[in-house]
Amino acid sequence: MIIPTYDDMLAAHERIKPYIRRTPIRTSDCLNEIAGCELYFKCENFQEPGAFKVRGAANAVFGLDDEQAKKGVATHSSGNHASCLSYAAMKRGIPCNVVMPRTAPQAKMDTVRRYGGRITECAPSTSSREATFAQVQAATGGDFVHPYNDPRVIAGQGTCAREFIEQADGLDMVVAPIGGGGMISGTCLPLSTLAPETRVIAAEPEQADDAFRSFKAGHIIADDAPVTIADGLLVPLKDLTWHFVSNHVSEICTASEQDIIEAMKLTWKHLRVVMEPSSSLPLATILKNPDAFKGKRVGVIITGGNVDLDKLPWILG
Amino acid sequence: MIIPTYDDMLAAHERIKPYIRRTPIRTSDCLNEIAGCELYFKCENFQEPGAFKVRGAANAVFGLDDEQAKKGVATHSSGNHASCLSYAAMKRGIPCNVVMPRTAPQAKMDTVRRYGGRITECAPSTSSREATFAQVQAATGGDFVHPYNDPRVIAGQGTCAREFIEQADGLDMVVAPIGGGGMISGTCLPLSTLAPETRVIAAEPEQADDAFRSFKAGHIIADDAPVTIADGLLVPLKDLTWHFVSNHVSEICTASEQDIIEAMKLTWKHLRVVMEPSSSLPLATILKNPDAFKGKRVGVIITGGNVDLDKLPWILG
């Protein structure tokens, strides 16, 4: 297991700068009043491919030597990692093969194709995606860029929190969603060096609360096929992300499907940004546990904005 | 008729700085590819009350002497001016009375009430709103802050274009929606001094094309009760805004209701910002007239983001 370092994150930032945006911070007096704290939202949904995952993906793709680059990259992903890896591969002009669950949102599949990624569909379970991926990788020889359990990816994701603490002073805590733990690990990486007093809190769907249970148990617990509207948070922790979660995360909070939908709609209304259900977990848990956040300066990472605009969860179709 | 000057705009900017945001610019490689030009979107939907109109409203409210301020302000508006005037009045701690058509979106009425504005409803026509307003103003003595035909308001709106050309270099043109002409006049005001080579283009719904017809005829033509999904663009030009439109606007383009809805959805999808139908007119006209914009650097003002999230025009309810 190679644990990415602070210097790996700095090197990643230099490497990926031409391919990422330094995303802005949004605030809303109305949301602050509703939540009873000072909220700072980092808009990673404003990355060109719509998610923070372009940071880790670009770090992996642009770190390949020319020989491996010719064979391209390959991955499995519920959506945004697939889009972002395709985007980075397109920017370098190399092939990208991705395995996606056939239940992934249409918007995410469209994005992968727009960037030239080749999709192989699988069943919506961890076991199916891993089996299908083994076949695809054997056929193509693409370098496997895991969506989160890869030091290059975590170092890349870490550049987001580095920017965040430069843009918003004195955050008491940063809250980010947790699925496989790539964003949370990437958040711990710079904060443990630059702002050790800033607590890192992970937010997870009740219906896919494997990280919450792992955190309590002290070892990784993985579910095979959880079901939640937060389609980016279906995957389990792995050894690398567990390292960061078990050593640096202060707390893992959970929220119900209804909490997620309400927080999503509130954000669209008051911040006026389009974000996906997975990105609602932080606000949903903040609103559910107001005493824990009261009066604090709270950073929230809006992880992605790729959502089917024809199927909004608060409108019955 | 008092025509606001460049110096009035500069004074407005100083006066309103504590109450407005210097809104960011958003870009999207995907949208640029679709449109065939380089698009720069200024996100005035990210103002706290969700629209550029906070600039003009704050300039009027904070320019009042203490004596008049006690009696407060009053206006009629299809929505965003009402919200923004209420917001500015709340910030100064003075009363605000507004006349709104009973067809105004619920989201806009809610915003007015959230900021303490008092609403009197009228029929959805220019004649009804003006008659109802006369009664309200006589009863309260509030200073009339017209939504656009007021030099204080136009000077305030002008601060948006001033920021825009500081943030995005060498724009060939700026495209903004036109209803009564407040934003367009405010755009002409700084550009005619700071960037006279940048063309100002107004975009209007086909179903409320009174400015387009006025521009061709060389005099103001007013419709009493046009019907369009672009609920912020129902009002006619007045003498002050006609001054700017007739002297400084290069062109007025129109778009159909379907064009407006498609441009709105495209913006939500690729820029990942929530904006209202009225703000779609620029992109709708750009997509409709690709040759006129091909290869150009085009600034677009996203005027507002107050929209009923339960009633999106591309989803049949």
- Residues B16 and B160 sit within 8 Å (Cβ to Cβ): no
Residue ranges for chain B with pLDDT beneath 70: 317
Residue from A31, A110, A269 whose CB has the most chain B CBs within 10 Å, to mutate = A269
Angle at B275 between CA B62 and CA A26, to 5 degrees: 65
Q: How many CB pairs under 8 A join A and B?
A: 55
Is the Cβ pair B114, A45 closer than 8 Å? Answer: no
What strand order describes the sheet that includes A199-205? A25-26, A38-43, A297-302, A173-177, A199-205, A249-255
Query: Torsions phi, psi of A250, nearest 5?
Result: -80, -35
Chain B: closest CA distance from residue A102 (Å): 21
Structure tokens at A156: 């890349």
Distance separating the N- and C-terminal Cα atoms of chain B: 46
The Cα–Cα gap between B233 and B156 comes to 19
Can you tell me which residue has the tokens 């249409």?
A106
Closest to B46 (Cβ–Cβ): which among A26, A45, A268?
Answer: A26
Which residues of chain B approach chain A closer than 8 Å at the C-beta?
Answer: 24, 26, 28-30, 45-46, 48, 50, 107, 114, 265, 268-269, 272-275, 305, 309-310, 312, 314-315, 317
Distances from the Cα of B268 to the Cα of A281, B264, B271, B302, angstroms? 21, 6, 6, 12
ipTM over 0.90: yes
Fold of B6-51+151-302: Rossmann fold (3.40.50)
Query: For A87-122, b where at least 16 C-beta lie within 10 A, e where not — what string?
Result: bbbbbeebbbbbbbbeebbebbbebbeebebbbbbb
Query: Torsions phi, psi of B258, nearest 5?
Result: -65, -40
Residues of chain B with C-beta less than 8 angstroms from the C-beta of A51? none
Chain B: closest CA distance from residue A23 (Å): 10
Residue ranges for chain A with pLDDT beneath 70: 317
Is the Cβ pair A309, B314 closer than 8 Å? Answer: yes
Closest to A310 (Cβ–Cβ): which among B45, B114, B315?
Answer: B315
Strands B118-122 and B96-101: parallel
* Same topology between domain A6-51+158-302 and domain A54-144: yes
pLDDT of residue A232: 87
Is A6-51+158-302 a domain of CATH 3.30.310.50?
no
* A40, A46, A47, A51: CA torsion to nearest 10: 70
pLDDT of residue B317: 55
Among all residues of chain A, which has the CA nearest to that of B267? A274
Closest to A268 (Cβ–Cβ): which among B114, B309, B315?
Answer: B309
Residues of chain B with C-beta less than 8 angstroms from the C-beta of A305? 272
Is A54-144 a domain of CATH 3.90.79.10?
no
pLDDT of residue B216: 97
Is the Cβ pair B272, A46 closer than 8 Å? Answer: yes
Is the Cβ pair B50, A272 closer than 8 Å? Answer: yes
- Residues B45 and B273 sit within 8 Å (Cβ to Cβ): yes
Q: How many CA atoms lie within 13 A of B307 on its CB side?
A: 30
The full set of domain ranges for chain A reads: 6-51+158-302, 54-144
Closest to B272 (Cβ–Cβ): which among A30, A269, A273?
Answer: A273
Is the Cβ pair A272, B275 closer than 8 Å? Answer: yes
Among all residues of chain B, which has the CA nearest to that of A316? B317
pLDDT digits (tens, 9 = 90+) for B150-208: 999 999 999 999 999 999 999 999 999 999 999 999 999 999 999 999 999 999 999 99
